[in-house]
Chain A
Amino acid sequence: MSATTTTTARTTESLTTSTSTPGWARWANQHRKWLFAAPAMVFVALLIVFPVAWTVYLSLTDAEGSVRAESSFIGFANYLDVLSDTERFWPAVLRTVVFTSGVLLVEVVLGMAIALLLWRPFKGEKWVRVAVLLPLVATPVAVGMMWRLIFDPNIGMANRVLGWFGLGPWPWLAGEHSALPTTMFIDIWQWTPMVVLILLAGLTSLSDEPQEAALIDGATAWQRFRHVTLPLLMPTVLVAVLLRGIDALKTFDILYATKGKGGGSFHEVETLNVYAYGLSFDYNEYGVSSAVLIIFFLIIIGSMWALTSRRKDVA
């Protein structure tokens, strides 16, 4: 570290003192912190700031049909419309919350259990780990299509298996009230491995001493987990919750692949993301759709902020 600093300092010195150095090189050297950051800044400006600013602008207009068509500035009318819409918007918010909190809870609890099982070395450990992580590498659309076939009420595997035990047939994805829990199940199936992966990394980095001390003090397995492992692992758990939570909020592929546009005929699985997509790609209501997206954006930022501040408390 210090060596690098010295080198840089020397280079700077030689550059500024040397009279043979061309002007542009001197200029570049003086502004190098901007110069090196420039590509990243341009990238951020073009691909993040501009789209967000454009969406904010669109959300304040009555743009529809085509974004190139004339539209007029209508202030916060779209936001008022959206926030007073109890037919599509608020149910979609509710579904987003139910979906996210539901899958998050199950994934963290289940992920923790699996991670604890895989923590200590055992025979065939490698194979088990690979098998557990497999769903993670499949593409969500393919996963959605696969489960859609399995859960087909008439020709699907799930009902055939239920039939062997004299149960069913259940409607699964086809049911008005069973569709959302079924998509949650698919999400849990696919993403629990990610939580396992993060928690396992956290567990492996824990030192053995506290565990041994607790063992000598006569703590039971549950007591060791509850009072030693879990508190030490808490920062990692929060990272997992944060990453998976944001991801779950934004879920689109699984929902779209299994239920299609509008989240099904009764909007059974229509979350905010699916709703915003429908507004812009089906209805061509770009103004309203942008307003929904901005509200959604704020919800994500808000929950992220809440979680990270909690994380600082723990750490």
Chain B
Amino acid sequence: MLRQSVIGTSLAVAAALGLSACGGGDAQSAGSKTVRVTLANHVWTENIKKALPEFEKKTGLKVEITQLGEDQLSDQYNVKLNAGSSDIDVMMYRPLQEGKLFAKNKYLADVTDKVKANKDWDWSDFKSGPVQATTYEDKVVGVPLITEQEVLYYRKDLLKKAGYTNPPKTLDELKSMAAKIKQENPGVAGFVARTGKSPAVTQFSSFLYSFGGDFVDESGKSAVGSPEAKQAYAFYGSLIKDLGPANVSTDMGWPEAMAIFTQGKAAFYTEANSLYKNATDPAKSKVSGTVGFAPFPEGPAGSKPYSIPSWALGVNDASENQANAWKFIEWATSKAQTLENEKAGVPGGRTSVAADPAATATYPKDLVEANAIMANNGVGHDRPLVVKVAEAREIVGQPIVDAITGKDATASADTANQKFQTFLDDENK
């Protein structure tokens, strides 16, 4: 009896193994009809969700979307990709934040052949800076999705009240105008921007470049202790400490800083242009009617805002459905979809669409002008280009919060410089 059941069990197990083997084989050749796509909370995601039925009808595929906040998205990728999970096919990721790490860990499939296969889709139409950011060791691992630059948001009414007709051209003008407005309007800050150690790094980067500095110099050494960097840290810190909101928190990311601006509590705000809808949408902003946009003001080294690909789409290397995953990416980054998104306020990665007047017809006019100016003088990164970006951001961000809280920013920059050099040495080992 015992023997019988053993034989029975082994037969059942063998049959199950055989079946699952067949199943695996089928999936390999044809791919599942369902494409599992993981996306971040973004205006782009909302737009693409509305357009999805068109894709599903055209291809007969079903798209399953998981939508998460930035931090949760990172955590999800860390857990699932680490485990080699195949239940993500398409992933929306940040090329400058996780791109190198993911490519190094082989989480992103090599799509070099795929991008070159379809002439109509036209890979050469993508802007070169973003393409560089989604290429790892000469292999294309992602398609640029959203690009952004840093602009100056300002309150037209407050400027007019203080007797100014134009927004500031230089950082010094920005400071003096912010000081005057703060003084004349109790309860309103002259300036606000991100203050969190890590979130502030990207928005601080334009200040750093405009003062003539960078995170890393040409020889690959840490440059956050340079005189230019020290000036930039001190300038950004004093803008917020002296002219920012009272009792400013050092934990602010864009949602918190944007809230202060849209509540009417600040005159100037430097932030990514891709977030402009939050300030001009009456449902989200109390000051929607009076928001103006200007190019990033000039520092000693000119106006040098970052101009970067903030999001890209990639294929999970462990996915068993790569062919269909690519079909989704091809459609989502097509000229038509890119145009639709640009019309809705999300700048994409294509040159032809950026040049199309229809794309920016609904934008505030001053924003279009600012964007056009900055497209030429932008710097291609807004954070150190390393593998362990999260750690690097905390190191180079320390002097920002030290400056904001009135600590010795110069000493802090020197400490950060040492630490960052050790970090770079460690990473290049």
B-binding residues in A (CB < 8 A): 22-24, 27, 65-69, 152-155, 159, 169-171, 173-174, 176, 259-262, 264-266, 280-284
Instruction: State the 7 A-B residue pairs at the shortest beta-carbon distance, nearest first.
Output: A174-B249, A153-B247, A265-B197, A66-B105, A265-B250, A282-B390, A265-B401
Residues of the B chain whose Cβ atoms lie less than 8 Å from the Cβ of A174 = 247-251
A154 → B minimal CB distance (Å):
5
Residues of the A chain whose Cβ atoms lie less than 8 Å from the Cβ of B390 = 282-283
| Binding site secondary structure of chain B | loop
Residues of the B chain whose Cβ atoms lie less than 8 Å from the Cβ of A173 = 249, 251
CA distance A24 to B9 in the complex (A): 14
Tell whether, in the assembled complex, residue A153 and residue B388 are in contact, meaning their CB atoms are under 8 Å apart.
no
User: Is B246 on the interface with A (CB-CB < 8 A)?
Assistant: yes
Q: List 15 A-B contacts (CB under 8 A).
A: A22-B1, A67-B82, A69-B105, A154-B247, A159-B247, A170-B247, A171-B247, A174-B249, A176-B405, A265-B251, A265-B401, A281-B75, A282-B390, A282-B391, A283-B391
CA distance A149 to B125 in the complex (A): 45
Interface string of B380-394 (1 = CB under 8 A from A): 000000011011001
User: Is B267 on the interface with A (CB-CB < 8 A)?
Assistant: no
B418 → A minimal CB distance (Å):
13
Interface string of B235-255 (1 = CB under 8 A from A): 000000000011111110000
CA distance A176 to B84 in the complex (A): 40
CA distance A283 to B105 in the complex (A): 14
Tell whether, in the assembled complex, residue B251 and residue A259 are in contact, meaning their CB atoms are under 8 Å apart.
yes
CA distance A8 to B405 in the complex (A): 74
Residues of the A chain whose Cβ atoms lie less than 8 Å from the Cβ of B388 = 283-284
Residues of the A chain whose Cβ atoms lie less than 8 Å from the Cβ of B394 = 262
Tell whether, in the assembled complex, residue A27 and residue B101 are in contact, meaning their CB atoms are under 8 Å apart.
no
Tell whether, in the assembled complex, residue B196 and residue A266 are in contact, meaning their CB atoms are under 8 Å apart.
no
Tell whether, in the assembled complex, residue B265 and residue A68 are in contact, meaning their CB atoms are under 8 Å apart.
no
A-binding residues in B (CB < 8 A): 1-2, 5, 71, 74-75, 78, 81-82, 84, 101, 104-105, 107, 195-198, 245-251, 259-260, 263, 265, 387-388, 390-391, 394, 397, 401, 405
Residues of the A chain whose Cβ atoms lie less than 8 Å from the Cβ of B2 = 23-24, 27
Q: Number of A-B pairs whose CB atoms are under 8 Å?
A: 80
CA distance A154 to B265 in the complex (A): 10
Residues of the A chain whose Cβ atoms lie less than 8 Å from the Cβ of B197 = 262, 265-266
Most buried by A among B74, B249, B394: B249
A171: nearest residue on chain B (CB-CB)?
B247
Tell whether, in the assembled complex, residue B101 and residue A281 are in contact, meaning their CB atoms are under 8 Å apart.
no
B188 → A minimal CB distance (Å):
11
Most buried by A among B75, B251, B259, B391: B251
A279: nearest residue on chain B (CB-CB)?
B391
A283 → B minimal CB distance (Å):
5
Tell whether, in the assembled complex, residue B5 and residue A284 are in contact, meaning their CB atoms are under 8 Å apart.
no
B98: nearest residue on chain A (CB-CB)?
A284
B113 → A minimal CB distance (Å):
25
CA distance A111 to B405 in the complex (A): 38
* A153-B249, A154-B247 known, 12 other contacts, Cβ within 8 Å: A23-B2, A24-B2, A65-B101, A68-B84, A153-B246, A154-B245, A155-B259, A169-B247, A176-B405, A260-B196, A265-B197, A266-B401
B331 → A minimal CB distance (Å):
30
| Binding site secondary structure of chain A | loop
CA distance A266 to B397 in the complex (A): 11
CA distance A170 to B247 in the complex (A): 8
B318: nearest residue on chain A (CB-CB)?
A68
B72 → A minimal CB distance (Å):
11
Residues of the B chain whose Cβ atoms lie less than 8 Å from the Cβ of A154 = 245-247, 260, 265
CA distance A68 to B2 in the complex (A): 41
Tell whether, in the assembled complex, residue B391 and residue A153 are in contact, meaning their CB atoms are under 8 Å apart.
no
Tell whether, in the assembled complex, residue B1 and residue A24 are in contact, meaning their CB atoms are under 8 Å apart.
yes
Residues of the A chain whose Cβ atoms lie less than 8 Å from the Cβ of B5 = 24
Residues of the B chain whose Cβ atoms lie less than 8 Å from the Cβ of A170 = 247
CA distance A260 to B72 in the complex (A): 12
B413 → A minimal CB distance (Å):
16
Residues of the B chain whose Cβ atoms lie less than 8 Å from the Cβ of A262 = 197-198, 394
The one of A65, A169, A265 that contacts B195, using a Cβ cutoff of 8 Å: A265
Residues of the B chain whose Cβ atoms lie less than 8 Å from the Cβ of A68 = 82, 84, 105
Residues of the B chain whose Cβ atoms lie less than 8 Å from the Cβ of A67 = 82
Tell whether, in the assembled complex, residue A264 and residue B251 are in contact, meaning their CB atoms are under 8 Å apart.
yes
Residues of the A chain whose Cβ atoms lie less than 8 Å from the Cβ of B245 = 154
A239 → B minimal CB distance (Å):
35
CA distance A174 to B388 in the complex (A): 27
CA distance A58 to B415 in the complex (A): 31
B99 → A minimal CB distance (Å):
13
Tell whether, in the assembled complex, residue A261 and residue B198 are in contact, meaning their CB atoms are under 8 Å apart.
yes
Residues of the B chain whose Cβ atoms lie less than 8 Å from the Cβ of A24 = 1-2, 5
Residues of the B chain whose Cβ atoms lie less than 8 Å from the Cβ of A159 = 247
A65: nearest residue on chain B (CB-CB)?
B105
CA distance A154 to B196 in the complex (A): 16
Residues of the A chain whose Cβ atoms lie less than 8 Å from the Cβ of B81 = 66
Residues of the A chain whose Cβ atoms lie less than 8 Å from the Cβ of B265 = 154
B109 → A minimal CB distance (Å):
15
Tell whether, in the assembled complex, residue A23 and residue B1 are in contact, meaning their CB atoms are under 8 Å apart.
yes
Tell whether, in the assembled complex, residue B250 and residue A284 are in contact, meaning their CB atoms are under 8 Å apart.
no
B308 → A minimal CB distance (Å):
21
Residues of the B chain whose Cβ atoms lie less than 8 Å from the Cβ of A261 = 71, 198
